[in-house]
Amino acid sequence: MIEGKIATAAMGNSPEAPFSQHFATATHFLIYDTATGHLEVVENTARDLSAGKGVAAAKMLIEKRVKGVVVEFIGPRPFSMLQEAGVKVYPGIQIKAQDVLDSIKAGKLSQPLEAPTETSHTGQHGDHQE
Give the span between the Cα atoms of 49 and 36, in whole angstroms.
Answer: 33
Query: By C-alpha distance, which of 92, 112, 121 is closest to 23?
Result: 92
Give the span between the Cα atoms of 60 and 16, in whole angstroms.
Answer: 23
What does pTM read for this prediction?
0.77
Which CATH architecture describes the domain 5-105?
A: 2-Layer Sandwich (3.30)
Question: Domain coordinates of the chain in residue numbers?
Answer: 5-105
What tens digit of pLDDT does each residue of 41-61 get?
A: 999 999 999 899 999 999 999
Bigger pLDDT: 96 vs 81: 81
